[in-house]
Structure 1
Amino acid sequence: MRWGPSGELGTVLWIGGAQWAGKTSVAWLLSRRFGVTAYHYDFHDARGHYDRALAHAGRYPHRHAWQVLQAHDPDTNWVRPSPEEMADNCKRGHVERFGMVLDDLRALSSGRPLVAEGWGLRPELVAPLLADPRQAVFLVPTEAFRQRRLRELPRAADVSAPVSDPRRARANRVARDRLPAEDVVERAREHGLRVVEVDGSLSVGGLAGVVADHFGPWLSRCGVS
């Protein structure tokens, strides 16, 4: 089930984009400053979503298949496919998982603004739910900042599974992650949604301030300046 602009998700503020752009930190800071609930996509995906996909293969066939392969033949996910094939698999998985996100958000909806963040919150999925385009923003790192994050955070390229060729798996992951990031920019602009390029010139607090200004009409309702 989906909810349109006048439904239960009318107060959700969406932070999508690419990996390693600061989405989680920004949402956390906004929750602390304005007292809003923060919904973290990766947290829920690694826990409840994983179990739901295993339990309901018919409802989540793509995600279910990916998880089974990850457990029994991770080379099929990380070593053998091309980055382009991996990016396409990601996109299909995000579509399935977005249904789980909506179920989660319905349970959290209270009439107050709620900030949802995650790279699976893609523009074409979010756009039909918006009452106003300013309810969504997409953070995407510049290529220079992406390379910096890869140097600073080894886990940004890690593959959390035993594979036959770790070097190739890491290279595939890095190349894969670049493709959805480029696609997010194109899709956001198609839907008239804002993209913020993250180049590292702002602190996390500064970036949170940019996003807070963007969401100003909704966050002002929380009674915190």
Structure 2
Amino acid sequence: MRWGPSGELSTVLWIGGAQWSGKSTVAWLLSRRFGLTAYHYDFHDARGHYDRALAQAARYPHRHAWQTLQAHDPDTTWVRPSPREMAEHSKRSHAERFGMVLDDLRALSSGRPLVAEGWGLRPELVAPLLADPRQAVFLVPTEGFRQRQLRELPRAAKVSAAVSDPERAQANRLERDRLLADDVVDRAGEHGLRVIEVDGRLSVGGLTTVVADHFSPWLT
């Protein structure tokens, strides 16, 4: 795997975007079809990033503070902030955690191409690492598809934390996710990166084929 002039990985294929848009499944299918190594953002966050942020408060101050508050009072994360405040927090957290992502990707470096997926792989973070704009794509669901995912995915239907007002927490999360999805579209446009709107008309296999076509120069 090549390294860019700044020392960052320069041949990673990136799939970012919004929650519940099929990023993980598409990356997994691509890895099976084309022999790629797949990096799943949420998997690594749950199993490593959380502990790194707790252990290294000076390096990850925003993430560390959020985790400490969340552990003692989940309402400070899900109930009391406005959705816009939650969205701004998510963007700051993603920026901090992107350094962890790069560390993870370096550790996964091998002879196989690598595809990385996750909602924290935001356009403004990924863009400086790209040798070609086609190395990144961002999946964003339509409102109709988002509602379908909420009905069909148990983990999407409610906030898992023990909060005082579950309905408000879920409403806040949904509006936060809409704001972040809109922001992804705007930032991708600023950097000349492609956004694919996911409306459910394509099967997940069909969506994977569209993404594979976008990445085709690196999938031979």
Taking the aligned partners of 1:161 and 1:196, their CA distance within structure 2 comes to: 31
- Contact 2:35 2:112 survives alignment (8 Å): no
Amino acid at match of 1:28: W
- Contact 2:8 2:129 survives alignment (8 Å): no
The aligned counterpart of 1:195 is 195
* Helix, strand or coil at the partner of 1:155: helix
1:115-171 superposed Cα distances (whole Å, 9 cap, x missing partner): 000000000000000000000000000111111111222321422211111111111
Where do 1:74-223 residues align within 5 Å? 74-220=74-220
Taking the aligned partners of 2:73 and 2:191, their CA distance within structure 1 comes to: 38
- Contact 1:25 1:204 survives alignment (8 Å): yes
Structure 1 length normalisation: TM-score? 0.94
The aligned counterpart of 1:62 is 62
1:182-204 superposed Cα distances (whole Å, 9 cap, x missing partner): 00000001100000000000111
1:36 aligns with 2:36: yes
Using the TM superposition, give the Cα deviation of residue 110 of structure 1 relative to its aligned residue in structure 2, in angstroms: 2.1
The CA RMSD over aligned residues, in Å, is: 1.3
Amino acid at match of 1:176: R
Taking the aligned partners of 2:107 and 2:164, their CA distance within structure 1 comes to: 41
Amino acid at match of 1:199: D
Taking the aligned partners of 1:144 and 1:166, their CA distance within structure 2 comes to: 23
Poorly superposed stretches of 4+, deviation over 2 Å? 3-8
Number of residue pairs matched by the alignment: 218
- Contact 2:8 2:102 survives alignment (8 Å): no
Pick closer, same or farther for the CA change 1:60–1:171 going to 2, 3 Å: same
1:77-112 superposed Cα distances (whole Å, 9 cap, x missing partner): 000000000000000000000000000001112253
Identity of aligned residues (%): 85
Using the TM superposition, give the Cα deviation of residue 5 of structure 1 relative to its aligned residue in structure 2, in angstroms: 6.2
Structure 2 length normalisation: TM-score? 0.96
Using the TM superposition, give the Cα deviation of residue 8 of structure 1 relative to its aligned residue in structure 2, in angstroms: 5.0
* Helix, strand or coil at the partner of 1:11: coil
Structure 2: state its 5+ residue gaps.
none
1:63-90 superposed Cα distances (whole Å, 9 cap, x missing partner): 1111111110110000000000000000
Pick closer, same or farther for the CA change 1:81–1:8 going to 2, 3 Å: closer
